[in-house]
C-alpha cells in the first residue's frame, strides 16, 4: 500500500490513527516494489523505522517536531552519519559518512524520517542521470525516458509516490530540471540560505540543497526547516529566515523572458504554454512585461568554465588514500593517485576535471576563468537590476520535455539543457520549477519563477496562489 501522497494527507492519516512507523514501512515497501526505477541506491530499513518509532512516541507525548509524518529521501551527495554516501561514484565505493550534513541534522530534529539515498549523476554532473556509476534512473511518468538530472533519483522518488519530499542539490539546475521532467515542484534556495555543510561539493559557489515535492506546501514546509545560518558553513547568510505564509501576494510585476518564447530549438508546446500563462496573468491584473535574459548565450559557457574550475579543485581530495576506492594495482604515491582516479571517476567527471584544470592553468587563467568571473558579475548585476523593476521573473524551466536515454550524446548539447536554469545559480537567486504543463506526448513540463535573493517567501506564495502548484 502506498503512502498518503502529500504531507498534509499524511498528517490527516496520523490524526485518524495511522502511525509514522506504518507510513515508513509502506514507503520502504513501495521503494522495493519500484526497484525497476533504480531511484534508490540504498534504503534505510533499520534507521528509518527506528526514527519513525521515536516520532510516534513523541506524537503521543505531544513533543513531536514540525515534520512529524514527513517521509523524505536524500540525494547520494548528502552525508548522513553512519550511512553510506558516494555521489554515485565508484571512487567513493564503500565510504560511510562520519558526520551528518546540517540539512540532515535539521530534518531529523524536526522529526522527518529518511527512507534512503537516491541515485544521481556522478558528483551531480549531468542533466539526465545517465552519468551515475550505478545506472540510469527511469522516469516514473514514462519509464522509456530519463528523469532529468542530476537529482534524477530524487525526482523519481517523489514522482513515484515513494516519499513526500526528496532533497537534491542544484548547481546549475539539478533540482529544477528533473522536477520539470517528472511533474514535480523543484526549488533552489538563494545561495547562502541553506547550509552546504555535509554536501559533497561540486562547485562551491553555486551548490545549494533544496526540496522536490508534489506541491509548494510540502516544498515550503521542508525548506523552512533546513534554511538558516550555520556556524559550520561560513557562506550561509545570517539574515533571519522569512516566515513562509503562502498567502495571496496581491498584484505583482512579472517579467517574462522573451527569449524563452523566441529561441530556436524551443518546443512549440512549451512556448504556447508559457504564453498562455502570460496572457492569463495579465487578465488577472498583474503587470506582465518582457525582459531580456542578460547575456543568454554566455550563461552556459560561463557556468561550465566556473563550475568545472571549482570542481577540479574540489575533486582533488579524492586521491585513493583519504576516501573510498584505492587502486589495487598502484605502487607508490603518484601511481596511487593516478590509478585510483583513473579507475574511480567516470567519463563526464574526468572531462570536467580536465576542463577545469585547463581554465585554471597559468597560461589560460585570464582568458577563461578570470573572464568568466567578470561575466558572472555583470550577469548578477543585471539580474538584480531586473528585480528593481519586477517582483518575479517567469520563463520555461527547460527547452522541452524528458528525452530517452542515449538520445543526447554530444556533451555540449547536453549542457544546453541548462540554458534557463543556470542564471539563478550564477546570480545566486532563488528559483522554482512548477509542474503546470502536460505535453501532447504525455510528458509533464514546468515553468520557472525566480525572485530576488532571500525573497523565497514571495516565490512560494506566488507559486501557490498564481500557479496553483
Ligand atoms: N546539468 C548541470 C551540470 O551538469 C547542472 C548540474 C547540477 O545542478 N548539479 O553541471
Looking at residue 185, what is its pLDDT?
98
Nearest residue (CA) to ligand 1, atom 4: 126
Is the pLDDT at 267 greater than 80? The verdict is yes
Q: Give the full edge-to-edge strand order of the sheet including 71-75.
A: 40-43, 113-118, 71-75, 165-170, 208-213, 185-188, 431-438, 444-451, 392-396, 253-257, 287-291
**Residue 172 Cβ < 6 Å to ligand 1:** yes
CATH number at residue 291: 3.90.1300.10
Q: What average pLDDT is seen over the chain?
A: 96
Element housing 119 (H / E) = none
Residue 207 CA to ligand 1 center (angstroms) comes to: 9
The alpha carbon dihedral of 341, 345, 349, 354 has a sign of positive
Q: SS3 for 266?
A: coil
Q: Which residues are catalytic?
A: 75, 150, 174
Q: Rounded to an integer, what distance in angstroms lies between the CA atom of residue 112 and that of residue 110? A: 6
Tell me if the pTM is above 0.95. yes
Looking at residue 143, what is its pLDDT?
98
Looking at residue 417, what is its pLDDT?
87
**Residue 127 Cβ < 6 Å to ligand 1:** yes
> And the C-alpha cell for 339?
590509478
Is the pLDDT at 37 greater than 90? The verdict is yes
Number of domains the chain contains: 1
Q: Is 181 exposed, middle or buried (0-12, 13-18, 19+ CB in 10 A)?
A: buried
Is the pLDDT at 249 greater than 90? The verdict is yes
Q: Where are the beta strands (DSSP E) in 127-171?
A: 165-170
Average the pLDDT over 421-449 and give the result.
Answer: 97
CA distances to 65, 84, 126 from 103, rounded to whole Å, are 15, 16, 23
Kindly give the number of the ligand 1 atom that is closest to the alpha carbon of 173: 8
Kindly give the number of the ligand 1 atom that is closest to the alpha carbon of 417: 1
Looking at residue 263, what is its pLDDT?
83
Banded model confidence at residue 260, pLDDT cuts 50, 70, 90: confident
Banded model confidence at residue 469, pLDDT cuts 50, 70, 90: confident
Average the pLDDT over 98-120 and give the result.
Answer: 98
Is the pLDDT at 149 greater than 90? The verdict is yes
Is the pLDDT at 144 greater than 80? The verdict is yes
Note whether 456 and 430 are within 8 A (CB). yes
Q: Rounded to an integer, what distance in angstroms lies between the CA atom of residue 94 and that of residue 84? A: 7
- Residue 331 phi, psi (nearest 5): -125, 125
Residue 444 CA to ligand 1 center (angstroms) comes to: 20
**Residue 174 Cβ < 6 Å to ligand 1:** yes
Q: Rounded to an integer, what distance in angstroms lies between the CA atom of residue 61 and that of residue 47? A: 21
pLDDT tens figures, 350-407: 999 999 999 999 999 999 999 999 999 999 999 999 999 999 999 999 999 999 999 9
pLDDT tens figures, 44-81: 999 999 999 999 999 999 999 999 999 999 999 999 99
Looking at residue 324, what is its pLDDT?
87
Q: At what angle do helices 7-15 and 20-33 cross, to 10 degrees?
A: 130
Looking at residue 258, what is its pLDDT?
87
Average the pLDDT over 128-154 and give the result.
Answer: 98
Looking at residue 411, what is its pLDDT?
87
Which of 127, 148, 178, 304 maximizes ligand 1 atoms within 8 Å of its Cβ, making it the mutation to test the pocket? 127
Which of 174, 314, 410 maximizes ligand 1 atoms within 8 Å of its Cβ, making it the mutation to test the pocket? 174
Residue 125 CA to ligand 1 center (angstroms) comes to: 5
Nearest to 369 by CA among 312, 313, 302: 302
Q: Where are the alpha helices (DSSP H) in 292-429?
A: 296-314, 333-344, 347-360, 371-389, 411-415, 422-427
> What is the percentage of the chain residues whose pLDDT exceeds 70?
100
Which of 89, 123, 149, 177 maximizes ligand 1 atoms within 8 Å of its Cβ, making it the mutation to test the pocket? 149
> And the C-alpha cell for 33?
516494489
Looking at residue 203, what is its pLDDT?
98
Domain that holds residue 116: 1-469
Is the pLDDT at 89 greater than 90? The verdict is yes
**Residue 307 Cβ < 6 Å to ligand 1:** yes
Amino acid at each position: 500500500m502506498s503512502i498518503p501522497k502529500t504531507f498534509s494527507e499524511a498528517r490527516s492519516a496520523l490524526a485518524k490513527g495511522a502511525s509514522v512507523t506504518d507510513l515508513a514501512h509502506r514507503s520502504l515497501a513501495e521503494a522495493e516494489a519500484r526497484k525497476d526505477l533504480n531511484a534508490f541506491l540504498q534504503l534505510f530499513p533499520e534507521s528509518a523505522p527506528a526514527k519513525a518509532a521515536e516520532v510516534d512516541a513523541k506524537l503521543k507525548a505531544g513533543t513531536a517536531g514540525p515534520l512529524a509524518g514527513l517521509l523524505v529521501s536524500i540525494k547520494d551527495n548528502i552525508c548522513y552519519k553512519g550511512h553510506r554516501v558516494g555521489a554515485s561514484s565508484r571512487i567513493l565505493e564503500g565510504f560511510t559518512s562520519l558526520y551528518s550534513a546540517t540539512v540532515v541534522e535539521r530534518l531529523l530534529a524536526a522529526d522527518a524520517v529518511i527512507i534512503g539515498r537516491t541515485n544521481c549523476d556522478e558528483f551531480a554532473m549531468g542533466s539526465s542521470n545517465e552519468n551515475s556509476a550505478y545506472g540510469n534512473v527511469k522516469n516514473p511518468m514514462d519509464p522509456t525516458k530519463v528523469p532529468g538530472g542530476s537529482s534524477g533519483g530524487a525526482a523519481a522518488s517523489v514522482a513515484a509516490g515513494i516519499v513526500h519530499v526528496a532533497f537534491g542539490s542544484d548547481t546549475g539546475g539539478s533540482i529544477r530540471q528533473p522536477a520539470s521532467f517528472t511533474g514535480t515542484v523543484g526549488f533552489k534556495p538563494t545561495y547562502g540560505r541553506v547550509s552546504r555543510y555535509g554536501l559533497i561539493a561540486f562547485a562551491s559557489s553555486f551548490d545549494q540543497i533544496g526540496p522536490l515535492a508534489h506541491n509548494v506546501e510540502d516544498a515550503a514546509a521542508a525548506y523552512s526547516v533546513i534554511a538558516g545560518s550555520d556556524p559550520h558553513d561560513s557562506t550561509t547568510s545570517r539574515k533571519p529566515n522569512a516566515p513562509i505564509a503562502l498567502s495571496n501576494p496581491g498584484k505583482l510585476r512579472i517579467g517574462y523572458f522573451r527569449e524563452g518564447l523566441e529561441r530556436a530549438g524551443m518546443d512549440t508546446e512549451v512556448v504556447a504554454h508559457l504564453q498562455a500563462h502570460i496572457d492569463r496573468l495579465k487578465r488577472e491584473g498583474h503587470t506582465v512585461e518582457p525582459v531580456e535574459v542578460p547575456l543568454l548565450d554566455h550563461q552556459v559557457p560561463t557556468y561550465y568554465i566556473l563550475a568545472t574550475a571549482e570542481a577540479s579543485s574540489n575533486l582533488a581530495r579524492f586521491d585513493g588514500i583519504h576516501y573510498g576506492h584505492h587502486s589495487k594495482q598502484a605502487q607508490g604515491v603518484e601511481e596511487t593517485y593516478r590509478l585510483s582516479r583513473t579507475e574511480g571517476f567516470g567519463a563526464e567527471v574526468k572531462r570536467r576535471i580536465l576542463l577545469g584544470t585547463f581554465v585554471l592553468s597559468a597560461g589560460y587563467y585570464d582568458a577563461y576563468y578570470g573572464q568568466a568571473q567578470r561575466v558572472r558579475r555583470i550577469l548578477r548585476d543585471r539580474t538584480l537590476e531586473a528585480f528593481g523593476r519586477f517582483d518575479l521573473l517567469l520563463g520555461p524551466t527547460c527547452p522541452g520535455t524528458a528525452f530517452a536515454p542515449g538520445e543526447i550524446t554530444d556533451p555540449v548539447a547536453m549542457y544546453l539543457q541548462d540554458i534557463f536554469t543556470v542564471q539563478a545559480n550564477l546570480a545566486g537567486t532563488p528559483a522554482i520549477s512548477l509542474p503546470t504543463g502536460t505535453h501532447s506526448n504525455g510528458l509533464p513540463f514546468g515553468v520557472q519563477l525566480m525572485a530576488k535573493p532571500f525573497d523565497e517567501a514571495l516565490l512560494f506564495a506566488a507559486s501557490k496562489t498564481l500557479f496553483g502548484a
